[in-house]
Amino acid sequence: MFKTSIYLFTALMLGVVSYSNAQTGKKMETNFNKEQQEVFSTIERMVDAFHKKDIAGVMACYDRNALILFEPQKPVVGTNDLKKEFLAAFEINPHYEFSGHEIYIAGNIATHVAPWTMKGRLPDGTPIEQNGLSIAILQKQTDGSWIMVFDNPHGQFLMEK
């Protein structure tokens, strides 16, 4: 159960961005300003790296002290532990779709919110499907780039209790 949850969370978290709408399969339009688009680009880079199973590319999108909830209420911090969780998630080859994206920026902090649906397969071939609400906090760097410092793909958790 724990390993399955880790697979699902990591897959979900990394699937923060999709280029299509879950209901229609059509490319989603985003009406982001330039700064919001830069934040969104960080999310896109992370997802692209995840789908390619590029652990270095995934980790490059996160602060070295990032906190990620691969399972509700169970934060993971630290580069080595985060890498382990992401590598485990690669095993299910998840596919994510999102029904929308919201990005809000206050100074050097940004929030990205996106409802998602994920389909994948456990290593034994069992199909899995899950959905939720991803909430990520990003911080602007001195070079103008954005990196994630907090990532919770289970933002809906408290509403489900």
Domain residue spans of the chain: 2-160
d(CA 139, CA 154): 20
Which of 3.10.450.50, 3.30.720.110, 3.30.1540.20, 3.30.300.30 would CATH assign to domain 2-160? Answer: 3.10.450.50
Mean pLDDT of the 106-117 span: 96
Mean pLDDT of the 11-25 span: 38
Which residues pair with residue 147 across a beta bridge?
139
Q: pLDDT tens across 113-144, in order?
A: 999 988 899 889 999 999 999 999 999 999 99
Q: Decide if 97 contacts 116 (C-beta within 8 A).
A: yes
Which pLDDT score is estimated for 55? 97
- Of the two residues 150 and 3, the one the predictor is more confident about is 150
pLDDT band for position 94 (50/70/90)? confident
Q: Decide if 132 contacts 12 (C-beta within 8 A).
A: yes
Hey, how many other C-beta atoms are within 10 angstroms of the C-beta on 160?
Answer: 8
